[in-house]
Structure 1
Amino acid sequence: MKIRFGTSGWRGIIAREFTWDRVNRVVDAIGLMLQGEGRNSIVIGGDCRFLSPELAESTAERMAGYGFEVILSRGPCPTPVLSHACRKGGHGGVINFTASHNPPLYNGIKFSPWHGGPADSDMTTSIEKLIEAGEKPERGSGSVVQKDLRNDYSREIQKYLNADVFLSSNLKVVYDAFSGAGSGLLDRILLDLGASVRVLNGVRDPLFAGRQHPEPGESGTADLALQVIASGASLGVATDGDADRFGIIDENGEFVSPHDYLPLLLNYLVEVKGYNGVAVRSVTTSSLIDRVALDHGLETVVTPVGFKYLGAEMLKGNVILAGEESGGLSIMDHVPEKDGILACLLAAEMVCAEGRGLAAQLDDFWEKYGRVYVSRVDLHLDDSLREHVTENYFESDPSEIAGLAVESIDRTDGVRMILEDGDWVLIRLSGTEPLARIYVQSDTSEKRDGILEKVTAGFHRMKHI
């Protein structure tokens, strides 16, 4: 079985695809590539999954044996913190043991080059070829230095926050750390800013407290929503296992979709913080961002799915906000990588600065900009479904879907079929899991749900033929 990198690194089921021997092969390929680039230092860490700490320590010693100066995270470390340490220290890259939001049986390796963002496709293809070749890096005499990387990150993140608005806000936050690496960091920053914080699932648990899909989406934050109501909190926030993704609950205990939070945040960054530049979103993310950008005279750039594409736009400079519907964002000159911690801190700042919760803010926002409704359904991808999607959507131009005429087709990522009134259906294959993802956007929730129901029903019928 060949090792292949997906949208965000190489992931596999522990002891089946993800084995110690295969990890060493990937590490050796990364070391060989970095030596070829003349880079001799690297940051290594991981999240709270099974074997992540042990693999990080073993890999640190292995890379030191190849002559690298290794900065090893002391304990589990969020992905954006590792990225920050790489950029701040001028290191050659990051080896990060994480499978992000995948089920507990998975682990993975995410490699980030010198800029701290995800490796692009050309780089991961090069790593795959080096793995196949099976060569090892040249031996050397390096070193391993353990460091708590969170302290520098905590200081640096302050430049994106207005600490003054927290002082007299009496902010009450409930934080679900998803038994992951964000625990002890996001809550500490909020406490230092003056907020009252209650933490859920703040202890390391590789089984994610029984969550089979540790993703801070609407279903994953249901318990958090209940606790926000019970606590009378102003805000609920969540981060996934490696704290690169975020989830937000408003003052009424309702989930705030990234499709709504991202355009609301963009408007805040421009109107209140005075930022200027380009807005970047993935093709699966609500076009409400485009409306806000247009209103402020800003350009919008639309990318394929995967933060490696959004991060590449950030590296060009002059980006206000880069965000995607799966719960990832970054801003300005911050790391070109998803940062769930920053996303949650900015939500808290908005509540304090506006003196009201996100639900109230969104009501006024929708009154001005209108509203769009986006949903996603994931279907298990077996061979028959893969063949059906490939033949009928990827290799042909469908003229209709769900009984509606297709007016145009966008192939930025997968196939996006634009219908009348600007509604659309997008079908793509996940780059991290064996799933077919179906997205629908419409101007009413009723139309969205009707289209989504017809599309998924059609796929289910096909699977049983």
Structure 2
Amino acid sequence: MGSVNSLREQLKYEVVPLKFGTSGRRGKVVDLTQLEIYTNVTGEIEYLLSLESSKGGISKGDDFYFAYDLRPSSTELVENGRGGIAQAVVQAASDNGLTAINLGAIPTPAQSYTLRSKRYKLNTSRGELLKKDEAPINASVERVRERLLEQSANESLFDQQGRLRSGNTDLPKVLGDGRDAYIKRYLDFFPNQPLAGLKLLVYQHSAVGRDVVVEILSQLGAKCTPAGRSSTFVPIDTEAVDVEQLDTIQKLIDATGHSFDAVVSTDGDSDRPLLVAPDGNGNGNKGLRFFGGDLLGMIVAEYLGTDAVVVPISSNDAIDRGALASVLEPKTKIGSPYVIAGMETATKSGRRRVCGWEANGGFLTASDIERDGNVLKALPTRDAVLPLLCVLSAAKQRKLSVPELFATLPARYSRASLLRNFARSASLRILARFSQDQPLEDTKKELLSIFTKDQGFSEISRIDYTDGLRLIFENGDVAHVRPSGNADELRIYAVADTQARADEIVEMGIKQPDGLLRLLEKVSSE
């Protein structure tokens, strides 16, 4: 309990701390006060200032580069005085002796690439923060939070709603280096307009890279039709594209009156790709087919000729059956920090062309990779543009349609979806109920009372506990249940020998009120 005059006692809302998810700190907009942003940025800066330079430490006077997406809260105060994130970041950097440099609204990988190529600071002076950094960062943030909350309300930078008292909305002038360097990366690696003749619809929505994607594709020869541009934020989950999203894309196609070789897009911060193409089978949505990120990654890795690939356990197991099986590193937990750590291990073991990807399609390169005399510089963070370009270029080079290109992979099909507003405590009870600590045969027996033969499941061959609960059935079906790392959501990933079966498993999983996930919840509560 603070003094009656402390900021803690004067705040008109309850502070909800940001939490680390699978790859960074996350929180709901309603909790993103400028005070909370300032607290977290200051805590991380103080942690980095405490490190030796050899361990990634930074120094006062260093430049501090930041960028943002197109969410209104990124640069503006929104409902209930939340948001104004960039302004709080600038204030924290300045107050800690750093010079804030504004790279503007650009894709997350564009920021990362610029900082790597110019040897600027990126999280640490030596590279991205990893899971091992989370505990000391959390401790630093908590110390900063206590210090700020115990400060006299009259002397605080923040008002009772957690807003900066200055009310300053100005940001430093945008430096265009990030955007330009990112575009150049691809134009240098893909010469001679390899996409010439391709007709692409670019679903722009509110993606921060919507114009960058059009510019890159156009300069590489594709004929692009931008569509679906939105002034309000549109959430896109590239792991769980549903029929409703495919319907939206089909309507955009219909509105143009033209046909396209593919539809491309990204998520909001443009580090995860979205690829859709007509499959020619007429199976709903006039034959539109979504290609998941785990399959996308396989095409890209083969195109780049990599000698080591790192993927999370949730990936489509087609990778275990195809040409990449011989270069597959041990599968990791879900989240780019784990993939990055796996790539670092592969690099240290002597691998020279190392890459990785996630089921959401974000593709990472740990090595410089040469192809046809051109060098692709390493970018060990999720990227959306590279996988799109590699797939489209490979299809064009091999004179195949996009679906025909994917048909060259082992015939394994995947689907993912989730239940939102699923309490994390309930998810953890499920994992505890069916953990490795329980007798295996008892676990299998109980699971088979939920995943039944009437639903098409066979006996359980094995259970993988790497991240969540991954059930591998004797008939080849895979059902993987895992809580989201940064939200109250329970996800289900399915892999099967047909797309229809993978879709069926997921639909059975998310069915309300008595689908597989709800039955797991019920059993775990008994």
What is the distance in 1 between the residues matched to 2:507 and 2:236?
Answer: 25
What is the distance in 2 between the residues matched to 1:342 and 1:115?
Answer: 23
SS at match of 1:352: helix
Q: In the alignment, does 2:203 pair up with 1:176?
A: yes
1:20 to partner: Cα distance: 1.1
SS at match of 2:416: strand
Cα distance per residue 1:224-267 (max 9 Å; x no partner): 34545742222210111100111101244322222432223333
1:310 to partner: Cα distance: 1.3
2:431 is aligned to 390
What is the distance in 2 between the residues matched to 1:388 and 1:58?
Answer: 37
Instruction: Give 2:222's aligned amino acid.
Output: A
Matched ranges for 1:37-48 at <5 A: 37=51, 38-39=57-58, 40-48=62-70
Report which of the two structures shows the higher radius of gyration computed on alpha carbons: 2
Contact conserved, 2:190 with 2:220, CA < 8 A, in 1? no
SS at match of 1:441: strand
Q: In the alignment, does 2:517 pair up with 1:459?
A: yes
Contact conserved, 1:116 with 1:337, CA < 8 A, in 2? no
Higher strand residue share: 1
Q: 1:453 to 1:174 in 2, by over 3 A?
A: closer
2:249 is aligned to 224
1:147 is aligned to 175
Q: In the alignment, does 2:254 pair up with 1:254?
A: no
What is the distance in 1 between the residues matched to 2:143 and 2:180?
Answer: 40
Instruction: Give 1:327's aligned amino acid.
Output: G
What is the distance in 1 between the residues matched to 2:404 and 2:462?
Answer: 36
1:200 is aligned to 227
What is the distance in 1 between the residues matched to 2:38 and 2:236?
Answer: 27
- After TM superposition, the score normalised by the length of structure 2 is 0.73
Greater Cα shift, 238-247 or 193-202: 193-202
Instruction: Give 1:358's aligned amino acid.
Output: V
Instruction: Give 1:224's aligned amino acid.
Output: I
What is the distance in 2 between the residues matched to 1:65 and 1:294?
Answer: 49
Cα distance per residue 1:353-407 (max 9 Å; x no partner): 22332112233x04xx3x1122223123136733541332235342143134333
Paired residues, what number?
Answer: 422
Contact conserved, 1:221 with 1:247, CA < 8 A, in 2? no
2:23 is aligned to 8
Contact conserved, 1:225 with 1:236, CA < 8 A, in 2? no
Q: 1:427 to 1:88 in 2, by over 3 A?
A: same
SS at match of 1:377: strand
SS at match of 1:157: helix
2:358 is aligned to 324
Taking only aligned residues, the RMSD between alpha carbons, in angstroms, comes to 2.8
1:23 to partner: Cα distance: 0.7
Q: 1:12 to 1:246 in 2, by over 3 A?
A: same
Q: 1:421 to 1:462 in 2, by over 3 A?
A: closer
Cα distance per residue 1:415-465 (max 9 Å; x no partner): 222221443222111002211112222223454455445555243346679
Matched ranges for 1:91-130 at <5 A: 91-93=120-122, 112-114=123-125, 117=128, 119-130=129-140
SS at match of 1:51: helix
What is the distance in 1 between the residues matched to 2:144 and 2:39?
Answer: 7
Specify every segment of 5 or more residues in structure 1 that has no aligned partner in the other structure, as ranges.
94-111, 138-142, 270-274
- After TM superposition, the score normalised by the length of structure 1 is 0.82
Cα distance per residue 1:43-89 (max 9 Å; x no partner): 21110112213422442243133221332113x11110111122122
Contact conserved, 1:329 with 1:338, CA < 8 A, in 2? yes
Q: 1:131 to 1:173 in 2, by over 3 A?
A: same
2:49 is aligned to 35
Q: Percent identity?
A: 21
Contact conserved, 2:187 with 2:219, CA < 8 A, in 1? no
Q: 1:390 to 1:356 in 2, by over 3 A?
A: closer
Residue from 306, 316, 339 that aligns with 2:335: 306
Q: In the alignment, does 2:413 pair up with 1:373?
A: yes
What is the distance in 1 between the residues matched to 2:206 and 2:507?
Answer: 34
Contact conserved, 1:310 with 1:336, CA < 8 A, in 2? no
Q: In the alignment, does 2:86 pair up with 1:63?
A: no
1:106 is aligned to none
Q: In the alignment, does 2:485 pair up with 1:431?
A: yes
